[in-house]
A = this chain, B = another copy of it.
Amino acid sequence: MLTYSLDKKGSKPIYEFLYECIKNDILCGNLTAGEKLPSKRSFADNLGISVITVENTYSQLVAEGFIYSLPQKGFFVADIKNTAMYKKNSLAEKYVAPKTSGHKKYDVNFASNQTDKKSFPFSIWARLMREVLTQRQNDLMKNPPAGGIPELREAIAVHLKEFRGMKVSPQQIIIGAGTEYLYGLLIQLLGFDKHYGVENPGYNKIAKVYESHNVKCNFINMDKSGVRIDELEKTSTDIIHICPSHHFPTGIVMPVSRRYELLGWASSSEFRYIIEDDYDSEFRFSGRPIPTLQSIDVSGKVIYMNTFTKTLTSTIRISYMVLPGNLVSLFHKKLGFYSCTVPTFEQFTLAAFIRGGYFEKHINRMRKLYLTKRNLIINALQNNNYADKTEILEEDSGLHFLMRLHSDICNENLLERLENNGIKIMPLSAYYKNPPDEAERYFVINYTSVEQEKIVSAIERIFECI
């Protein structure tokens, strides 16, 4: 019978140790597809542990698709080659592994969208949270309006005016637990019968949210200025979802001319809207930002979205949208029954954080820190013997840029080499619906969570692979 020595488990809980042993055996091929695993009881007896522990181990493996169960028959090893997680022929799927699993340890991760861990303003946040918990007890217990507590919405309105020159009333602002949640709320607001459009290439999750809500989602091809209006017109799209300030993953900043063209497209039908996703606009490193579509829109066609997950931390789950006036009333009528999804505790703390000027200071500090990291990477890429082997595409903005590697090796082999060399990185092709040949050997450098001291050696490792 399958057995493992529990002596080696170290400080890990037994179920976790067991989970890792079995997973490794499946990944290494020691356990093959279709092979039956011991019954929970006999496995538990054999190892001298409780049945519940084995059950937890098996549940985790089932959840992650490594094994499956058949009623009255038992547990069997899954054919992992055929599961999406390990499919070799789909780069996107290969590299978007479920968050719960830690199949591979990377030394440097250029694929993470997390913020710099050490930079969260813990001491200020802790002080403000304490103040809120002692001074605002009555307010904390009151159900806030569906759009969020007025204080936070007012603070955001002031912030948008100062940072983005946007003139919005707090009543237009709707707070929610992350942009993914707000995308879903917008579908409920605008209609399941509407057709949504996303940028191709683009941030995968947006299309996934639309698909998960069972609404029609069109992929609109881009040119160097953003989504192509001719491509947009060819489709049935009612609502187009774009990132004009700094597109993910290409980094394109949409010029004003294209912005007006898009507003023209939207104005020509009652049901058309533009969702303007301004997710990392705080991080423009030089020059003045182009005004948001929201601020040049006079027809009430732009829904502006932004988030604190890029500026503070992705784990805080606070985002917001600014609705045009006509949608504010519709929101209250159709969706006013919903409770605001962000705890009042975090809302009051964040409001105090913005009002106290800490948010502005924090952004400035982060901008400097990210600029330093960015310059380190770009210098390392440009000043070495392999400089002619790379090309950098960036617009002095945002938290990622594209790197092109000149190499004869194909994308897939390059990625495998990089992976084996401890580098996790996403190919541009992973963000396309149907990746074109031109996307080959372009990679997205997400550098916010990469530790500064690892940058130079990480770039060297990249060059070792080409």
Complexed CA–CA distance, A337 and B60 (Å)? 17
Smallest CB gap from A349: residue in B: B345
- B114 contacts A143, C-beta separation under 8 Å: yes
Stretch touching chain B among A115-123, A228-236, A376-384: A115-123
Smallest CB gap from A318: residue in B: B343
Stretch touching chain B among A177-185, A416-424, A434-442: A177-185
Complexed CA–CA distance, A380 and B424 (Å)? 68
Stretch touching chain B among A126-134, A218-226, A242-250, A273-281: A126-134
Chain B hits for A145, CB < 8 A = 98-100
- B343 contacts A140, C-beta separation under 8 Å: no
Stretch touching chain B among A324-332, A403-411, A451-459: A324-332
Chain B hits for A170, CB < 8 A = 56
Complexed CA–CA distance, A320 and B339 (Å)? 16
Complexed CA–CA distance, A192 and B275 (Å)? 24
- A172 contacts B59, C-beta separation under 8 Å: yes
Complexed CA–CA distance, A147 and B344 (Å)? 22
Chain B hits for A314, CB < 8 A = 143, 339
Stretch touching chain B among A3-11, A21-29, A207-215, A389-397: A207-215
Instruction: Flag whether A47 is at the interface (Cβ < 8 A).
Output: no
- B214 contacts A100, C-beta separation under 8 Å: no
Given A56-B171, A98-B145, A317-B339, list of 17 further CB < 8 A pairs? A52-B167, A84-B333, A100-B147, A114-B142, A115-B141, A117-B137, A120-B141, A122-B133, A122-B134, A126-B133, A141-B315, A143-B315, A177-B181, A178-B341, A193-B214, A315-B345, A346-B346
- A177 contacts B137, C-beta separation under 8 Å: no
Complexed CA–CA distance, A21 and B332 (Å)? 21
Complexed CA–CA distance, A176 and B146 (Å)? 17
Complexed CA–CA distance, A143 and B181 (Å)? 16
Smallest CB gap from A179: residue in B: B339
Instruction: Flag whether A96 is at the interface (Cβ < 8 A).
Output: yes
Stretch touching chain B among A63-71, A262-270, A283-291: A63-71
What are 24 A-B pairs at a CB distance below 8 A?
Answer: A56-B169, A56-B170, A59-B325, A69-B325, A99-B145, A99-B146, A114-B141, A114-B143, A115-B141, A122-B134, A126-B130, A140-B313, A177-B177, A177-B317, A191-B214, A192-B213, A315-B343, A316-B344, A317-B339, A317-B341, A317-B342, A318-B343, A343-B343, A345-B346
Chain B hits for A315, CB < 8 A = 140-144, 343-345
Chain B hits for A117, CB < 8 A = 137-138, 141-142
Complexed CA–CA distance, A146 and B99 (Å)? 7
Complexed CA–CA distance, A48 and B226 (Å)? 46
Q: How far is the CB of A315 from chain B (nearest CB, A)?
A: 4
Complexed CA–CA distance, A328 and B143 (Å)? 32
Q: How far is the CB of A440 from chain B (nearest CB, A)?
A: 25
Complexed CA–CA distance, A338 and B334 (Å)? 24
Chain B hits for A59, CB < 8 A = 169, 171-172, 325, 328
Residues of chain A at interface, number, CB under 8 A = 81
Instruction: Flag whether A79 is at the interface (Cβ < 8 A).
Output: no
- A337 contacts B122, C-beta separation under 8 Å: no
Complexed CA–CA distance, A69 and B329 (Å)? 11
Complexed CA–CA distance, A378 and B167 (Å)? 54
- B96 contacts A120, C-beta separation under 8 Å: no
- B62 contacts A329, C-beta separation under 8 Å: yes
Instruction: Flag whether A463 is at the interface (Cβ < 8 A).
Output: no
The 6 closest A-B pairs by CB, nearest first: A177-B341, A192-B214, A100-B145, A315-B344, A126-B133, A117-B141
Complexed CA–CA distance, A315 and B314 (Å)? 21
Chain B hits for A204, CB < 8 A = 337
Complexed CA–CA distance, A114 and B144 (Å)? 11
Smallest CB gap from A114: residue in B: B143
Chain B hits for A346, CB < 8 A = 343, 345-346
Q: What 1/0 mask marks residues of chain A from 301 to 326 whose CB sits below 8 Å from any chain B CB?
A: 00000000000011111100000010
Chain B hits for A165, CB < 8 A = none
- B99 contacts A334, C-beta separation under 8 Å: no
Smallest CB gap from A208: residue in B: B337
Instruction: Flag whether A55 is at the interface (Cβ < 8 A).
Output: yes
Complexed CA–CA distance, A55 and B313 (Å)? 34
Chain B hits for A98, CB < 8 A = 145-146, 332, 336
